[in-house]
Amino acid sequence: MNLSSLTPPSDMPSAGARIPGYAVSVVFVVAGVLLTLVDYQITGWVVFGIVLSLAAPWSPQYLGGWILILFLAAGELAHHHAVLNWRFLVVLAGLHLLYVLAVLALGLPWRSWVQPAVFLAPLRRFVAIQVPTQLLAVVALLLLAPSKDGHRPVTVGEFAVIGALAIVGLALLLLTPRLTDPPASAS
């Protein structure tokens, strides 16, 4: 049986199954190759990234997708300085996208047919996580990344103190209603 001979099941015409299960793997390969090219540009490591991108979806039970994620993250940490640029933000979002696709590939058999609605919840979670993550990355890099002359606007120690105070403030904000509520009676 080849992939072109797959057809939606005839006994479920109202299910609206329109997307084949292997589409997730195809998107994973495309995203993996593009992220490898963005992260490593044209170096010898691109071949390794492309091989991982092609191999990971074929047997997702061996967690090759997570190996690719680690490979791309290591490339971002090793080859680029801590500066705010489009490449860092794209790789940050792309690593999360690869994670979502790898999880979907684990759960969807190749020969399955799925409704497009199956992808709405993961897409909502992806956007809900990426918006604050991208904003936090921009703020952190603007505050911590050295400028051309090597000066940092905020030192790592100052940033840690500010972060600790923010966490304490958030904890107090969330716990204040619980602390001020009268205890429930045991009757």
Give me the mean pLDDT over the 71-87 stretch. Answer: 82
Q: Among 38, 48, 3, which Cα is nearest to 23's?
A: 3
pLDDT at 109: 84
Distance CA 118, CA 26 (A): 17
pLDDT digits (tens, 9 = 90+) for 26-58: 999 999 999 999 998 888 889 999 999 999 888
pLDDT digits (tens, 9 = 90+) for 113-147: 888 888 999 999 999 999 999 998 888 888 877 77
Higher pLDDT, 109 or 82: 109
- The SS3 call for residue 11 is coil
Give me the mean pLDDT over the 98-126 stretch. Answer: 90
pLDDT at 123: 94
Integer angstrom CA distances of residue 40 from 4, 31, 148, 156? 34, 14, 23, 28
Predicted confidence (pLDDT) at residue 79 exceeds the cutoff of 80: no
Question: What contacts 82, CB < 8 A, 6 or more positions away?
Answer: 141, 144, 145, 146
- Four-residue CA torsion sign, 16, 22, 27, 30: negative
pLDDT at 4: 59
- Its pTM surpasses 0.85: no
Work out the pLDDT band at 25, boundaries 50, 70, 90.
very high
